[in-house]
Amino acid sequence: RLWFPSAEEGRGSAFSFNLSSSSVAGGPQGSFECVQQCGSRSLESLGVMGLKMNIKAKDDVYEATRQRMAVAEEESKKNWYVI
């Protein structure tokens, strides 16, 4: 189980997970590659990922996460500058 803490003291969520071969999990699309952002416009490959982690969560968790990510994206756009 994975434990993800919350900003609220004593709160958080625990999720079960499984690992599968990325060649099976990726299907016909190919493999998964791990990348790292090195600068504002460059990515560095850290190599092919041999395993894929699948988190077992309920739909409400996915929806709440999607909403939080949308809010975070909107907040980050406020800091963008057009030149």
> Has residue 48 been placed in a domain?
yes
Q: Per the domain annotation, does 54 fall within a domain?
A: yes
The verdict on residue 83 lying in a domain is no
| Prediction pTM value | 0.41
Q: Which domain holds residue 8?
A: 2-77
- Per-residue confidence (pLDDT) for residue 22, from 0 to 100: 63
Q: Is residue 18 part of a domain?
A: yes
Q: How many domains does the chain have?
A: 1
The pLDDT of residue 23:
62
Is residue 46 situated within a structural domain?
yes
Return the pLDDT at 63.
Answer: 87
Confidence of residue 28 (pLDDT cuts 50, 70, 90): low
Q: How confident is the model at residue 12 (pLDDT cuts 50, 70, 90)?
A: confident
Overall average pLDDT of the 21-35 stretch: 67
User: Tens of pLDDT along 31-58?
Assistant: 778 899 888 888 999 998 888 888 887 8
Residue 82 lies in a domain: no
**Looking at the domain assignment, is residue 36 inside a domain?**
yes
**SS3 per residue for the chain:** CEEEECCCCCCEEEEEEEEEEHHHHCHHHCCEEEEEECCCCCEEEEEEECEEEEEECCHHHHHHHHHHHHHHHHHHHCCCCCC
